[in-house]
Amino acid sequence: MRVLGRFEWKIISALLLTAAAPLVFTFFMVDRLVEESMSVGLNDQVLSGLRDGVELYKEVIESRMRIARLQGQFSANSRSLQKALESGDTAGVRSVLEDLVDSSNWISEASIRKADTTVVKVVSPVLSFPHDKWKFKSDQWPVDDEYTLAVTFVISKDFLAASGKLRDLVLTMESIEENFQPWKMGYYRLFLFIYFFILVAAVVLGYLLARSVTKRISALVDVTKLASGGNLDARVGVQSSDEIGLLAKSFNQMMDDIQRSRDRIMFLEKISSWQEIARRMAHEIKNPLTPIQLAVQELHRSYRGQDESFRGKLNDSLEIVEEEIGTLRRMVKTFTEFARMPRVQVEPVELNGFVSDFVKHNPQYSDRVELFLCDQLVTVKLDRGLMGRVLGNLIDNGIQASDDDGVIKIEVSTHEGWGLISVSDQGCGLSPEAREKLFQPYFTTKPDGTGLGLAIVKKIVLQHAGEISVSDGEKGGTVFTVSLRAS
């Protein structure tokens, strides 16, 4: 089982602390708010007031009904009603009933009945009592042995509903008060469950986050160990664009720079060794050339014989010796130039203008060169003389590799902070073996070549802290690309 590292523990602990601190604070705040809220809503004064309200509602209903019944009973026992009934005075009876109905808002109608027959009936002329809003209740009292007074009482349903709601509220509050502690503990248990879930989620998230970070850092450490062991080809896989991804990208770029620097140093050291060899060879070859040439010329002049055959051989020998001495002198000149290359003196130069000026100042290339400039300014640091020598060498190689009517394309471009000069020919291209040895001193694919031209080109480019590469053209031929850091 894999053991968590210190960095992973730090991330997990930080997430736990970040999650736990506000939750603990929230727990105490919620507990206090619940206690205060319940103390406001469930204190004894509130409950006592609500119970008194229920009793008051009940007392109001009972008292008003009692008063209405007393009024009905009083009217049934009134002497005026009895006299009116005995005398058959209907108007007098109606007057008594109207007084009874008008005496209370809780009486909707009153009537005098004889057996089951209504003799006189009076309904409240002021108030209407729809059945959907009022509750009705009837009562009756005997007036005498023959007649009965019937009264219909009304109670507002809204009033009864308000009373019922208040009663239900009291019951609810009493139930809450009774079950408050169990409910409170239930809420706390739920809160603790959620709290525990959040902490577990924080741990898991912290582990995954820490693992995603440490995994990439571990990969970077492993690659760093490989690089420190001398493996400059080691690279880190860039899988994100965050800070660690940028670190990996920067590390890869650093390794690219180190590898280029190592290759540059190794090549320059090799070139320096070959320069010393070239200097000695030039010295050793140059010294005997003049005596040999003078001796052969003197031998040719001093012959006075008549043997034409021998004279012809002597002339041929002189011609061969002078031709070979000329070749050796050109080789010595090349070796000397190779051994005495000047120091690079760079200056800021706009690449489009430099290439255009080079072609303009070398009219021998005007019929064979097709120029493609960059659509933006590309400023680099270069030595005009030495970089012109590079460009001339590449163009000469391209002309020699192409047919008589072949066109050499020179293109100026830019890519990711580099200024590029590409020289393309229309030749037959290079074999893989030739491409591997192309920049080595004294390697050449031309019968009369010295094998120093491209070695000199690469040394000049490397002295400019640049790069040179070779590739196949899209339609055949070879493409040499010189890359210089844009400034």
Average pLDDT, the chain: 79
Residue in the structure block whose two tokens are 């070779």: 470
> What local confidence, expressed as pLDDT, does residue 335 receive?
66
**pLDDT > 90: what percent of the chain?**
15
163 close to 58: Cβ distance less than 8 angstroms? yes
> What local confidence, expressed as pLDDT, does residue 126 receive?
54
Ranked by mean pLDDT, which of 153-162, 259-268, 383-392 comes out on top? Answer: 383-392
Q: DSSP label at 305?
A: -
Local structure of 471: helix, strand or coil? strand
- Mean pLDDT, range 339-349, rounded to an integer: 82
Helix then strand then coil, in percent of the chain rounded to 5, is 65, 15, 20
Domains of the chain, earliest start first? 243-339 (1.10.287), 347-485 (3.30.565.10)
What are the tokens at 82?
A: 């009895």
- Mean pLDDT, range 415-436, rounded to an integer: 88
Local structure of 278: helix, strand or coil? helix
Q: How far apart are CA 165 and CA 53, in angstroms?
A: 11
| Residues 6 or more apart in contact with residue 170 via CB below 8 angstroms | 47, 50, 51, 54
> What local confidence, expressed as pLDDT, does residue 370 receive?
93
Tell me, yes or no, if the pTM score tops 0.75.
Answer: no
478 pLDDT tier (thresholds 50, 70, 90) = very high
31: how many CB neighbours lie within 10 A of its CB? 14
380 pLDDT tier (thresholds 50, 70, 90) = very high
What are the tokens at 14?
A: 């930080």
Residues in the chain: 487
| Residues 6 or more apart in contact with residue 93 via CB below 8 angstroms | 81, 84, 85, 112, 119, 120
Q: How far apart are CA 92 and CA 247, in angstroms?
A: 112
Q: How far apart are CA 329 and CA 285, in angstroms?
A: 8
Task: Convert the pLDDT of each residue in 54-95 to its tens digit.
Answer: 777 778 777 878 887 888 888 888 888 788 877 888 888 788
147 pLDDT tier (thresholds 50, 70, 90) = confident
DSSP 217-246: HHHHHHHHHHHHTT-TT-------SSHHHH
Task: Convert the pLDDT of each residue in 307-336 to its tens digit.
Answer: 788 878 878 887 888 788 777 777 777 766
Of 333, 377, 334, 335, nearest to 355 (Cα)?
A: 377
Task: Convert the pLDDT of each residue in 457-466 to its tens digit.
Answer: 888 898 898 8
pLDDT of 395 over the 90 cut: yes
Task: Convert the pLDDT of each residue in 23-60 to its tens digit.
Answer: 677 767 766 766 666 555 556 676 677 777 777 777 87
Q: How far is CA 313 from CA 294, 299, 300, 309, 322, in A?
A: 18, 12, 10, 6, 14
Alpha helices by DSSP H, listed for 119-156, are: none
Backbone dihedral angles phi then psi of residue 337, each to the nearest 5 degrees? -65, -40
> What local confidence, expressed as pLDDT, does residue 113 receive?
83
448 pLDDT tier (thresholds 50, 70, 90) = low
Q: How far apart are CA 480 and CA 473, in angstroms?
A: 9
pLDDT of 178 over the 80 cut: no
